[in-house]
């Protein structure tokens, strides 16, 4: 998940 920070962040937060 560390490698896929942006995807992780966008899924966790709103857009």
Quick count: other Cβ atoms within 10 Å of Cβ 8?
Answer: 12
Closest contact distance (angstroms) between CB of 9 and another protein is 10
Q: Does residue 4 bind another protein (CB under 8 A)?
A: yes
Q: Does residue 2 bind another protein (CB under 8 A)?
A: no
* DSSP classification of residue 7: H
- What is the C-alpha separation between 8 and 2, in angstroms, rounded? 9
Q: Does residue 15 bind another protein (CB under 8 A)?
A: yes
Q: Does residue 12 bind another protein (CB under 8 A)?
A: yes
- What is the C-alpha separation between 8 and 15, in angstroms, rounded? 12
Chain contacts with another protein (rule: CB under 8 A): 1, 3-8, 10-12, 15
């Amino acid at each position: 998940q560390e490698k896929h920070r942006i995807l992780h962040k966008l899924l966790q937060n709103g857009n």
